[in-house]
Structure 1
Amino acid sequence: MSALPVASTDMLSVSIVLYKPDLPKLAVTLRALCKACERLRVVDANKGINLILIDNGHVPDLSQFADELAAAGIRHTFLSGHGNVGYGRGHNLALGRIVSQYHLVLNPDIDLDSEALVRAIDFLDTHPEAGLLTPWIGDERGEQQYLCRRVPSVLDLLVRGFLPLNFRKTFASRIARYEMRDVINGTDVVRNPPIVSGCFMFFRTKVFAQLGGFDPRYFLYFEDYDLSLRVHDVAEVVYVPFVRVIHFGGNASRKGFAHIRMFGASAVKFFNRFGWKWL
């Protein structure tokens, strides 16, 4: 894939880690990103936008998207040859290649509202205390996913991730508290939710860089929990519901034993760092 000339400082950089991507979903993500960037450039045609695609393995030819990205004013770089280094370390590969005001950590299964980037930048431009923005996140039916979280206990993770639906009703109030359903909704800005989802993390680049990105000790899962909690040490985290995206992802328990094993290994790393809370 070709690239546009490099700008000295970009308004926005975006990193997407790819491993055996679902091409139709990735196409939705890239085309939605193009539309959101086109809208951003209507507001200011001089906004530089830099997309970094990180090939963690088994990525098909993406040259079909080159013209669309270029037409939206998006420069793009394709990083490959490093192997499957994991989700967080993959995104960290972008750190040395970005010179931007804002950086978006984006999953390859996200459909962005066309106004998402304009609204995210407008919010951070007017709220200098905020260093990380998380959006309203919907599922494939357009229903809200509650991906802001309080710090979990081991029981919260077991119930939320692995308990069959028939038995989960017993713990409904506990799950609701963990998922912050008492404060997260479609209208109210919420300051400093403890943990936010890694599927769409909109940073001030200086905050992302100051923290060194994701902790590379997590191969997959809990890297966003860890980074969310560390952001609170240097800036505010803000849930902004008028920034909207749709997330097509699933949870670890539906992806087989390998994912369950990775989930467990990362959970141990998380609790070792932030303290074990069983109940």
Structure 2
Amino acid sequence: MTSTSVVIPTFGRIKLALNLARSIRSFHHDIEIIIVDQENQNPPDGKTLSDTGVRYYNLDKANTSVAKNTGWRQARGEVVIFFDDDIEIAQNTIKTHLDCYSDKDVVGVAGRVIVDHESVPSDTDVLTGKTNFLGTKFVYRFWSTQRQTVDFPYGCNMSFRKAILEKVGGFDPGFPKIFEEVDLGVRVSKIGKIVFEPETLAFHHKAGGGGIRPEEKANKQRLIFQNYGRYLAKNVPFPFSLVSLFIRSITAAKINICLIGHLWKNYLLGLRRPRRSRRLE
């Protein structure tokens, strides 16, 4: 079996992360589990970590991309699985992640995700994890039951070969939260195959407290438009990205005119970075 590491980023929810680690350990006694905490205030005691059998890292500043980069760079496994701390996995979730890598062309796996309080349609044989050339459409239907090649995964249940993460430089810290897995997935899918495997199931409970996503709607919208600007600068060729930018500016204006400034500012900042992937934090 391919050697594997599981990375669990967390912020303000160390108990959830440890509970998930215990659940994983009950299915897989020898698997490496890495928890990357972004709180730096209340680390668990040594006995708890020892009893759970996890490697623990504590960051000074909250940044989901940096946390995930810390995890995979410390990982010993050839395949690195990323789980959010507030998910629940099935007994075969990790195994089905790994089974996909028997195909040497596969460099990443997107798992199926059922989210609490979100209804699943009767017809689940649909496309998911897709975007278009202009980056104006993103299909998030990770409850799908159709096995397929995708452009990006759902960040709470995904895996990659460590070698491909090294090749593309990992997650971009310019996405401190929200959209980091889409950016990574699109970059990876340009040079390798990411498969969506519906048997690789996780239930996303979306814990009410903790985490580093902005709770206020206005803050979340600002961050979404900021990150979208950066995404366009990195992943959609110029001048086509300008078309996407104008389309999204219309959407931003309908919500809050100030969002246009956030969108364009991060787009211009993104253009200043080298187009070619470089090693990230």
Shift of 1:36: 3.3
Aligned to 1:42: none
Aligned to 1:79: 57
- Alignment of 1:200 with 2:191, yes or no, is no
Q: TM-score, normalised by structure 2?
A: 0.70
> Structure 2 CA distance, aligned partners of 1:59 and 1:263?
28
1:32-81 deviations in whole A, cap 9, x for unaligned?
3223324xxxxxxxxx52222112115644347536533xxxxx22112x
Aligned to 2:108: 132
- Alignment: residue pair count: 230
Shift of 1:116: 0.6
* Bigger mean CA deviation after superposition, 11-20 or 92-101: 92-101
Cα distance, 1:21–1:259 mapped onto 2, change above 3 Å: farther
> Quick one: which of 225, 228, 233 aligns to 1:272?
233
> Quick one: which of 92, 98, 103 aligns to 1:121?
98
Cα distance, 1:235–1:16 mapped onto 2, change above 3 Å: same
Please give the residue correspondences for 1:130-279 in structure 2 after superposition, counting only pairs within 5 Å.
Answer: 130-140=106-116, 144=120, 148-151=128-131, 178-179=139-140, 185-186=144-145, 188-191=146-149, 193-249=150-206, 255-275=216-236, 276=241, 277=244, 278=247
> Quick one: which of 9, 21, 24 aligns to 1:30?
21
- Alignment of 1:49 with 2:31, yes or no, is yes
Cα distance, 1:147–1:60 mapped onto 2, change above 3 Å: farther
Q: TM-score, normalised by structure 1?
A: 0.70
1:114-172 deviations in whole A, cap 9, x for unaligned?
11111221221x21111111111112258559994322778768xxxxxxxxxxxxxxx
More relative contact order, 1 or 2 (CA 8 Å, 6+ apart): 1
Identity of aligned residues (%): 14
* Bigger mean CA deviation after superposition, 145-154 or 98-107: 145-154
SS in 1 for 2:52: helix
* Bigger mean CA deviation after superposition, 54-63 or 224-233: 54-63
SS in 1 for 2:28: helix
- Structure 1 gaps of 5+ residues are 1-9, 39-47, 71-75, 158-177
- Structure 2 gaps of 5+ residues are 249-281
> Structure 2 CA distance, aligned partners of 1:59 and 1:77?
17
- Alignment of 1:109 with 2:86, yes or no, is yes
Contact preservation (8 Å) 1:14, 1:105: yes
Contact preservation (8 Å) 2:82, 2:157: yes
Contact preservation (8 Å) 1:95, 1:209: no
Contact preservation (8 Å) 2:147, 2:195: yes
